[in-house]
Amino acid sequence: MKKINYIFFLALLCFGLQAQEKGDVLIKNGTVITITNGVLENTDVLIKNGKIDKIGEDLSASDITTIDAEGKFVMPGIIDAHSHIALDVVNEATSPNTAHVWVGDGLNPYDVGVYRALAGGVTISHAMHGSANAIGGQCETIKHRYGVLNPEEMRMDGAPRTIKFALGENPMRVHGERNNISPATRMGMEQIFRNAFEQGKAYMKANKDYAAGKLDVPPLYNLQSEVMADILKGDIIIHCHSYRADEIYMLLRVLDDYGVKKICFQHVNEGFKVAPELAAYGAHASVFSDWWAYKFEVYYSTAYNATILAENGVVTSINSDSGELIRHLYHEAAKTQRYGGLSDNEALKLITLNPAIQLGIDDRVGSLEEGKEGDVVIFENHPLSIYAIPQQTIVDGIVRFDIAEDIDDMRLDVDPEETVPAFYELEEHSHEHGEDKCMQDVYEFLNHKH
């Protein structure tokens, strides 16, 4: 029977679930954590055609998958504002400014990491370019529709464009230390941004002049300048890898000079030191729950960072930046209760509504409200309890993870020539060499001086 299940499930994954397919599901009698409207006991959630149709008591619908959630906790799908799963490429580390590249071109729907994230209740992640460059590539907000094979179908259609910036040691190391070109310092870093924004401004002007007939020929198309211009126009949200308070403050000043408002600082380990400034600018912060000391710029960190930021009015989220942490963001959020005593709802906001705000998708996801998308996770035990176990994870009304249906081997693509799946030793404390996931693909660069 198990085998039949297995084959059926695979067949379902491969052929049944297409594209932006939307599902219907009725979740009965759960403790519904809405995030925006309190906790509702014994409540049903009806998802129709991928959207939350109704939240209330004694809902019914005919001919619909029904999940009994009695004694269970129903919350919005978890959103990770910083991840690198489902990506074949993370870093195009060849220039301090690679605004022209886009990780959305390199999505990998076969990554079993997506399934593992689903098993941790995560329905949406922000697949980011790495931090090798001051201005990295554009990122992609993806929905965890594990089972679709077309990379295009991983995208969250209509989500705002985002781009990765990076400050501090990583870009300094890659460009200054390796290639002996600027930026080698945090001073040089500032000028990279100013130059890039000026480049975008000049490009916009040239195009405007051409449109107004002041030029005979259009300026030579330049993808990097296009992207810089779009940032200046407010079409792209910046997500900036950063650690130290001084560099965070620097970028705020630069952005202010160019009138760029949409900024979310990532990691931002010393954000707590400039929390009032971040709040005043309206900047957001997406942080680790407790990572620190893996390099010098995170030595003066504190696990109370999220709490301090939140208490100072900064829209804050907890992210993973890791294929491991993404599996238990609910636990990472709970750490703000140990370190700073946030309330349940404040803590859960850090992995639902707040990351949704940071990605510009809070009108569609991040809370359980009628009309929002049917991204839901059902927990055994309260999600902030260490004993919480995700039971089902639903994306657009389709159950993509069900603990009862889980089979061992969830790979979507099998190489007919491999012998057995490779065994990976635990990477001895991957932070030991100061390489977070953000530096993926850069390793080879650092090793080969040309």
Q: Which of residues 317-346 bind other proteins (CB under 8 A)?
A: 323-324, 327-328, 331, 334-335, 337-341
- Relative to beta strand 72-76, strand 65-68 is unpaired
**Segment lying near other proteins (by CB under 8 A), choices 74-82, 230-238, 359-367, 428-436:** 428-436
Q: Given candidates 37, 42, 60, 150, which one binds other proteins under the rule CB under 8 A?
A: 150
Angle of the 186-211 helix axis to the 245-257 helix axis, nearest 10: 20
> Which amino acid type is present at position 337?
Q
Q: Given candidates 48, 51, 54, 100, which one binds other proteins under the rule CB under 8 A?
A: 100
**Segment lying near other proteins (by CB under 8 A), choices 55-63, 247-255, 276-284, 355-363:** 276-284
290 binds other proteins (CB under 8 A): yes
**Positions in 21-50 near other proteins (CB under 8 A):** none
Query: What do you get for the CA distance between the two ends of the chain, in Å?
Result: 57
Q: What is the DSSP string of 23-63?
A: --EEEEEEEEE-SSS-EEEEEEEEEETTEEEEEESS---SS
Report the DSSP beta bridge partners of residue 25: 47, 65
Minimum separation from the CB atom of position 101 to other proteins (A): 4
Pull the structure tokens for residue 443. 């390793």
The residue among 166 and 275 lying less far from other proteins, judged by its C-beta, is: 275
> Which amino acid type is present at position 28?
K
**Segment lying near other proteins (by CB under 8 A), choices 43-51, 61-69, 113-121, 351-359:** 113-121
Q: Given candidates 86, 103, 329, 376, which one binds other proteins under the rule CB under 8 A?
A: 103
Number of residues that bind other proteins (CB under 8 A): 116
- Please give the C-alpha separations between residue 43 and each of 73, 234, 332, 390, 438, in angstroms, as whole numbers: 10, 40, 27, 18, 41
Minimum separation from the CB atom of position 364 to other proteins (A): 23
70 touches 379 (CB < 8 A): no
- Relative to beta strand 236-242, strand 135-143 is unpaired
**Segment lying near other proteins (by CB under 8 A), choices 25-33, 43-51, 71-79, 305-313:** 305-313
**Positions in 207-266 near other proteins (CB under 8 A):** 216-218, 220-223
12 binds other proteins (CB under 8 A): no
Q: Given candidates 26, 139, 231, 388, which one binds other proteins under the rule CB under 8 A?
A: 388
> Which amino acid type is present at position 376?
V
